[in-house]
Structure 1
Amino acid sequence: MREDKRDWKFCVRVDTHLQESVFVVGSCPDLGNWSNVSAVQLTNEIAPNSEWEGVWSVVISIPRDCEVKFRYFVGIAFEPDGEKLSSRQENIPGVSVDSNIHQDVEPDIFGLYDSGKMIDRGWLTTETVVQFKLFENPIQLWKRKYEGRKVHIKLTPLVLSKRKTLVQDMSVADIFDESMDTQDVAEEQDRWPIAEIAVMNENEWEFHLQEQFGRAYNPDDCIIFSVTMHFSESVAYMVDYYVYSSRAVENDPPCHIGSSYILPSMMTSSEGQAIVPITSSSHRPIGQLRFDYLVVHPISGYECDMSVSYSRIWKKTWHGLDVGHRGLGTSFKLEVSECADVRENTIASLKDAGSAGADLVEFDVQLSKDLVPVLYHDFHVCIAMKRKKQLAEHDMLELPVKDLTLEQLQHLKDGTYELNHPFDLNIYLDTVLKVVLDSAGSRKIVFSCFHPDICTMLRLKQNKYPVFFLTQGVTKKYPPYRDPRTQSIPMAVNYANSAGILGINAHTEDILRDSTQVKLVMDAGLVLFCWGDDNNSPSTIKYLKHLGIHGVIYDKIDKYSSKEVKESIFLAEAREMQNHLLKAAEEVQDPPQTLVSPIPVLPTEAFEFNDVENAQKNLSSTTLASLLSS
Structure 2
Amino acid sequence: MTMMSVTFEVMFRVEAEVESGEVVCVVGDCDRLGNWDPHHAVVLSRESSIPGQCRKNNQQMENRCDKENRKTCDVWRKKVKLCGMKNYNYRYFVCQIIESDSEFTERTVKVIRWETNILPRVFSPADYMKDPGKYDAEIMKFGEYGGKNHVTNGWLTDQSEIHIRIHGNPIRMWKPKYRKQTYRIKCTPLDQRYKDHLDEDEEEDEWGTHVSPPSTFTKVLVSTLDERHINHCVQSESGTIFEAGSYMIFTAETTEPESLGFQFDFYVNQEGVTPKHIGYCYLLPVDLKKSNDTKTVPITGLNHKPIGQIDRTAADTVQTKSPYNQL
Q: Deviations over 1:545-565 (max 9, x none)?
A: xxxxxxxxxxxxxxxxxxxxx
Hey, what does 1:106 align to over in structure 2?
138
**Displacement of 1:113:** 3.1
2-structure distance, mates of 1:238, 1:281: 14
Query: Taking structure 1 as the reference length, what is the TM-score of the superposition?
Result: 0.43
1:273 and 2:294 equivalent? yes
2:251 is paired with a residue whose SS is strand
1:61 and 2:86 equivalent? no
Hey, what does 1:292 align to over in structure 2?
314
Hey, what does 1:239 align to over in structure 2?
264
Of 189, 204, 210, 1:157 maps to 189
Letter in 2 for 1:296: V
**Displacement of 1:200:** 1.1
Alignment of 1:517-536 (within 5 A): none
Judged with a 3 Å threshold, the aligned counterparts in structure 2 of structure 1 residues 222 and 243 are, in CA distance, closer, same or farther, namely same
Question: 2:23 touches 2:94 (CA, 8 Å); kept in 1?
Answer: yes
Hey, what does 2:255 align to over in structure 1?
230
2-structure distance, mates of 1:230, 1:13: 29
Aligned length: 291
Query: Taking structure 2 as the reference length, what is the TM-score of the superposition?
Result: 0.79
2:36 is paired with a residue whose SS is coil
Worse overlay, 73-82 or 42-51: 42-51
2-structure distance, mates of 1:199, 1:49: 28
**Displacement of 1:224:** 0.5
Judged with a 3 Å threshold, the aligned counterparts in structure 2 of structure 1 residues 200 and 175 are, in CA distance, closer, same or farther, namely farther
2-structure distance, mates of 1:220, 1:175: 38
Letter in 1 for 2:115: N
Judged with a 3 Å threshold, the aligned counterparts in structure 2 of structure 1 residues 22 and 273 are, in CA distance, closer, same or farther, namely same
1:224 is paired with a residue whose SS is strand
**Displacement of 1:297:** 2.2
1-structure distance, mates of 2:292, 2:199: 27
**Displacement of 1:143:** 0.9
Letter in 1 for 2:114: E
Hey, what does 1:217 align to over in structure 2?
242
Q: Deviations over 1:279-316 (max 9, x none)?
A: 112221111112001112244xxx721x336xxxxxxx
Judged with a 3 Å threshold, the aligned counterparts in structure 2 of structure 1 residues 202 and 45 are, in CA distance, closer, same or farther, namely farther
Hey, what does 1:177 align to over in structure 2?
208
Structure (1/2) with the larger helix percentage: 1
Hey, what does 2:158 align to over in structure 1?
126
Structure (1/2) with the larger strand percentage: 2
1-structure distance, mates of 2:184, 2:145: 41
2-structure distance, mates of 1:158, 1:16: 24
Letter in 2 for 1:293: A
Letter in 1 for 2:169: N
**Displacement of 1:154:** 1.0
1-structure distance, mates of 2:174, 2:241: 18
**Displacement of 1:63:** 2.2
Letter in 2 for 1:63: C
Hey, what does 2:109 align to over in structure 1?
85
**Displacement of 1:147:** 2.2
Question: 1:62 touches 1:99 (CA, 8 Å); kept in 2?
Answer: no
Of 145, 168, 171, 1:139 maps to 171
Hey, what does 1:282 align to over in structure 2?
303
Question: 1:158 touches 1:178 (CA, 8 Å); kept in 2?
Answer: no
Q: Look at both structures and tell me which one has the larger radius of gyration over its CA atoms.
A: 1
Question: 1:241 touches 1:259 (CA, 8 Å); kept in 2?
Answer: yes
Judged with a 3 Å threshold, the aligned counterparts in structure 2 of structure 1 residues 267 and 110 are, in CA distance, closer, same or farther, namely same
Judged with a 3 Å threshold, the aligned counterparts in structure 2 of structure 1 residues 206 and 63 are, in CA distance, closer, same or farther, namely farther
Question: 1:131 touches 1:225 (CA, 8 Å); kept in 2?
Answer: yes
**Displacement of 1:206:** 3.8
CA root-mean-square deviation: 3.2
1-structure distance, mates of 2:293, 2:188: 20
Judged with a 3 Å threshold, the aligned counterparts in structure 2 of structure 1 residues 204 and 157 are, in CA distance, closer, same or farther, namely farther
2-structure distance, mates of 1:131, 1:276: 16
Hey, what does 2:42 align to over in structure 1?
40
2-structure distance, mates of 1:211, 1:149: 19
**Displacement of 1:173:** 5.1
Question: 2:241 touches 2:269 (CA, 8 Å); kept in 1?
Answer: no
Hey, what does 1:308 align to over in structure 2?
326
2:187 is paired with a residue whose SS is strand
1:263 and 2:284 equivalent? yes
1-structure distance, mates of 2:12, 2:36: 16
Hey, what does 1:207 align to over in structure 2?
232
**Displacement of 1:80:** 2.8
**Displacement of 1:69:** 0.3
Which sections of structure 2, spanning at least 5 residues, go unmatched?
55-71
Question: 2:18 touches 2:73 (CA, 8 Å); kept in 1?
Answer: no
Hey, what does 1:197 align to over in structure 2?
222
1-structure distance, mates of 2:319, 2:166: 21
Question: 2:11 touches 2:136 (CA, 8 Å); kept in 1?
Answer: no
2-structure distance, mates of 1:220, 1:271: 22
Q: Deviations over 1:594-619 (max 9, x none)?
A: xxxxxxxxxxxxxxxxxxxxxxxxxx
Question: 1:258 touches 1:280 (CA, 8 Å); kept in 2?
Answer: yes
Judged with a 3 Å threshold, the aligned counterparts in structure 2 of structure 1 residues 37 and 295 are, in CA distance, closer, same or farther, namely same
Of 97, 104, 109, 2:123 maps to 97
